[in-house]
Amino acid sequence: MIQSTLSTDLITSDILPVKLQRKPSPHTYLDKRVTKPQRGTKRTRSQRARERLQTKEHLAGLARELHEGELADKIDRCHSRLSVLTCGRHVARIIPNFTCEFRLCPDCGRRRSRKLQTKYLPPMKAFMLHNKVTPVHLVLTQTHRKETRKQAIKRVRDSFTKLQRRIFWKNHFKGGTWSLEITKDKKGFHHAHLHIVGFRRKFFDIELLRSEWLAATGDSHVLHLKPIEDIAAGLREVVKYVSKPLDIRRFGADDLKEFLGLKNMRLFGTFGEFRDFCKDFEPSDNDDAMSELESLTRDLVEGCACPQCSAPLFDLRLSKSELPQFYEQIESSPPGKVGASWN
C-alpha cells in the first residue's frame, strides 16, 4: 500500500512567495459580529512545519486510544522521511516517502488543497471572463445549538441550499465554490461555517443578503462578505479549510471517533452555473497558471538551478522532525550560508 516515491509534494508557496497585498477596498463590508475565521498570527515556515508535526502526533495518539492502530501507523509513517530538493536557502520540492491520505492529516490536506487550486483556478478565470462576474468571499454562519457535529454540518448546508433557491440569490449570484469549516468552542458547541467564492452578477446592499440568509436559516443573519481582488489568492484562502476543516488541537478521542463515523463528509464543492461550467471546461495551455508553476518545478532534479536564486540544487534526506529544524536554519541564517552542515 506504499504510494511512496510517486507522490510528489510540490511546495508551491516555497517557490514563488505569492504574498498578495490586498488593497483596502471602499466596497469592503466587514461584519464585526462574525468570529474571525482561522487566520491567526503570521507564523514562520518552521513553526507551521512543527505545528503539522504536533498535530499528527496528537492525531496518531488519539487513534491509538481508539484502538485504531492501523490508522495511527499510517499517520506516523506519512511524510516521515523526506527527500528535499534545495539550494540551501530555498526549498524547490519535497518528495515524501509515504502519504496517508487521511482527511485530517495536515500534510495530506495541504496536498489536497493544492490539487483543488490547480483544478479550479483555470475554470474560475475562464468563467469570470465569459460571464463578466466578480468574485466575492462570503462566509455564512449559523446560530449555536446543542447538536452533534454532523447535525451542525447538515444544518448549514441545508440552509445554503435554501438560500440558493431564493430569487434574490439567483439574481445576484451565478455560482461558485464552497468549503466547510467546523470549529468547537470551549462549551462544546460545534460551529459550522461555509466559505464561499461566489461569482456576483451585480452589486447589492449587504442588508438584503443578510435578510435572505435569515429567511434561509430561520435564525441567523450573520455573514461576512468581501470582494476578492485576486482570484488565485481568493481561491487559496477558501481551499485552506479543506486542509484544516477542524480545529484538531481541541480534538479528544471522542471527536476523532465522531469524525471517523462521518462517512463521505464533503469539505468542498461547486454550485450553480459554475458547477456545470466545470464539467465542460477544457483548460487551454495559456490560462493555467498553476500548471505553469508545476511544470517549472516538476522536472527539477539534483544539479538543476534553483528557480529562485539559480544556485545548484541538491537532494537532502531529512526525517520528519528535521524539516522544521531545516526551515529554522534557513530563517535564521544570513543569505547564502545555509545548507553546508546538512549536506
Binding mask 145-164 for Zn ion (x = CB under 5 A): --------------------
Beta-carbon count within 10 A of 94 CB: 20
Give the integer Cα–Cα distance in Å for 34 and 226.
Answer: 13
CB nearer to Zn ion: give 128 or 304.
304
Provide the minimum distance between the beta carbon of 103 and Zn ion in the complex, in angstroms, as a whole number: 9
CB nearer to Zn ion: give 78 or 163.
78
Give the integer Cα–Cα distance in Å for 232 and 238.
Answer: 10
Provide the minimum distance between the beta carbon of 342 and Zn ion in the complex, in angstroms, as a whole number: 14
Of positions 52, 90, 149, 193, contacts Zn ion by CB under 5 A: 90
SS3 198: strand
CB nearer to Zn ion: give 51 or 147.
51
Provide the minimum distance between the beta carbon of 104 and Zn ion in the complex, in angstroms, as a whole number: 9
CB nearer to Zn ion: give 37 or 109.
109
Residue 100 touches Zn ion, criterion: CB under 5 A: yes
Of positions 15, 87, 116, 267, contacts Zn ion by CB under 5 A: 87
Provide the minimum distance between the beta carbon of 311 and Zn ion in the complex, in angstroms, as a whole number: 5
| CB proximity list for 62: less than 8 A, separation 6 or greater | 251, 252, 253, 255, 256
Of positions 309, 312, 317, 333, contacts Zn ion by CB under 5 A: 309
Strand blocks (E) in the chain: 81-86, 91-96, 134-140, 173-184, 190-200, 223-227, 268-271, 314-319
Provide the minimum distance between the beta carbon of 1 and Zn ion in the complex, in angstroms, as a whole number: 13
- Strand order of the sheet with strand 190-200? 223-227, 134-140, 190-200, 173-184, 268-271
Give the integer Cα–Cα distance in Å for 210 and 171.
Answer: 15
Provide the minimum distance between the beta carbon of 309 and Zn ion in the complex, in angstroms, as a whole number: 3
Of positions 91, 124, 242, 306, contacts Zn ion by CB under 5 A: 306
- Strand order of the sheet with strand 314-319? 91-96, 81-86, 314-319
Give the integer Cα–Cα distance in Å for 181 and 157.
Answer: 11
Q: How far apart are the first and last CA of the chain?
A: 31
Residue 78 touches Zn ion, criterion: CB under 5 A: yes
Provide the minimum distance between the beta carbon of 78 and Zn ion in the complex, in angstroms, as a whole number: 3
| CB proximity list for 233: less than 8 A, separation 6 or greater | 18, 20, 22
CB nearer to Zn ion: give 251 or 277.
251
SS3 91: strand
Q: How many residues bind Zn ion (CB under 5 A)?
A: 11
Q: Among 16-24, 79-87, 158-166, 274-282, which window interacts with Zn ion (CB under 5 A)?
A: 79-87
Residue 105 touches Zn ion, criterion: CB under 5 A: yes
Positions touching Zn ion (CB under 5 A) are 78, 87, 89-90, 100, 105, 107-108, 306, 308-309
